[in-house]
Structure 1
Amino acid sequence: MFRFLLLAVILTAGTAQAQTAPSASDIASYTGLHLAAHEGDVDEINRLITTGSDVDIRDLSQRTPAHVAAFASHDDALIALANGGADMNALENRVYDVLTIAAVADDPEMVSLAMELGNAPDLITSVYDGTALIAAAHLGHHDVVARLVEGGAPLDHINNLAWTALIEAVVLGNGGPDHIKTVQILVDAGADKSIGDRDGVTPLQYATSRGYAEMIEILQ
């Protein structure tokens, strides 16, 4: 019973805990590096860094210019900021880093880039004490999951809901092709199929209870 109540709470609260990209009012207020990052203006980023601007300056939601560049999917801007000394492991007020922002956005190229620029794949993110891999698995972003696995993301990290990436791919997925591919990638990479939730329920048991035949075959 506990796990079903927990799932209901998560689904209800999901929107409240989700990442929040800069709003129209945030963007209208941006100046300096935040504005240049949002616009992807590499020349302006380089000029501002050269003249002494704080590369990790925060907006009202504690986003750095690197976070803003990630939300805007500006790879070149992110590179310029990293080259200028930006903290690639900085967390904004919802406890997200660049890597998890890119993972949730289903942006495989930025995911790989963020790791190349020093964003740690094992960084603990979100109010659920998760990782970028758990976030991507939850959403069925299998291309991102593959990049994160290749980059060394921890396969069996357990968040504060007592769920791994593999459990989330089953519990919070829809049993469709994207989540099936996610489960396959995780299993092939060596994710521990035996890890259960707080009640000891395993990914296979969850898949069985939902009638997810393809996942059952992978998890058996």
Structure 2
Amino acid sequence: MKILLSFGADINVQDLDGTTPLYYAAKKNDAGKVQLLISHGANINIKDRIGITPLHYAILENIINIVELLISLGADINAKDHDGKTPLHYATVNSNSDVIKILILRGANINAEDYNGKTSLHYAVSETFSDVIELLISLGADIDAKDHDGKTPLHYAAIKNRSDVKELLIFHGVDINIKDHYGKTPLQLPYKLTY
């Protein structure tokens, strides 16, 4: 790699998926190559064809040491993919408490919304990750955040018919009477029937 770089290889060249050598180094969990590429001008925040940065990718692959390295080298911890999802959304969907803590402690916006208005807490409730819900709340997540339909995390818990999650949110002081844009409170929402 050093030889190619010394002869002027394009360090930010993208393949058909939009991935660069930095993505591949991160995927291989090769911290040395990640540092080498960035020191030679690799764009740490470059996005692939669906808007995923190397940081998003490292979180998807659960490569914590590369996540920490990319953040320490200046990766944008609030970068959004084409759906508006931040690295914190990805860590939440992966139920990765360690990465969630790293991101929040390094300044990630805990209430960042995707393009549908969903915060990480909405995702945690949708996936019914009680430990992640508890963690996000303890780190300051807005328990009454509304998505673009006006639904709060409690609305999502009601739709999923997860009494344990509803109780957890109520225990933390969620407003049980918030109406969505259709005038429905969580109590009035139908839940998914399971057979």
Change (3 A) 1:57 1:182: same
1:104: which partner in 2?
60
Aligned 1:181-196 pairs, distance under 5 A:
181-196=131-146
Change (3 A) 1:215 1:76: farther
CA distance in 1, matches of 2:171, 2:30: 37
Q: Deviations over 1:61-80 (max 9, x none)?
A: 22110112122222221111
Tell me whether 1:212 sits opposite 2:170 in the alignment. Answer: no
Q: Which amino acid aligns with 1:65?
A: P
CA distance in 1, matches of 2:114, 2:140: 18
Q: CA deviation at 1:109?
A: 1.6
Q: What is the root-mean-square deviation of aligned Cα atoms in Å?
A: 1.8
2:46 to 77, 81, 90: 90
Q: Deviations over 1:117-148 (max 9, x none)?
A: 121101111x3111010111122111111111
Q: CA deviation at 1:217?
A: 5.9
Does the Cα contact within 8 Å between 2:143 and 2:169 map onto a contact in 1? no
2:93 to 114, 117, 138: 138
Larger gyration radius, structure 1 or structure 2: 2
1:154: which partner in 2?
109
Q: Deviations over 1:143-200 (max 9, x none)?
A: 11111111211111111122001111111x1x3xxx2232222212211111122332
- For normalisation by structure 1, the TM-score amounts to 0.71
Q: Deviations over 1:23-52 (max 9, x none)?
A: xxxxxxxxxxxxxxxxxxxxxx22322221
**Runs of 4+, deviation exceeding 6 Å:** none
Q: Which amino acid aligns with 1:98?
A: P
Change (3 A) 1:61 1:199: closer
1:9: which partner in 2?
none
When the two structures are aligned, how many residues end up with a matched partner? Answer: 170
Does the Cα contact within 8 Å between 1:69 and 1:75 map onto a contact in 2? yes
CA distance in 2, matches of 1:95, 1:198: 21
Does the Cα contact within 8 Å between 1:187 and 1:218 map onto a contact in 2? no
More helix by share: 1
Q: Which runs of 5+ in 1 are unaligned?
A: 1-44
2:178: which partner in 1?
none
Q: Which runs of 5+ in 2 are unaligned?
A: 174-195
CA distance in 2, matches of 1:51, 1:210: 59
CA distance in 2, matches of 1:67, 1:218: 42
Deviates more, 1:106-115 or 1:94-103: 106-115
1:52: which partner in 2?
8
- For normalisation by structure 2, the TM-score amounts to 0.79
Q: Deviations over 1:68-95 (max 9, x none)?
A: 2122222221111111111000001121
1:115: which partner in 2?
71
CA distance in 1, matches of 2:137, 2:65: 23
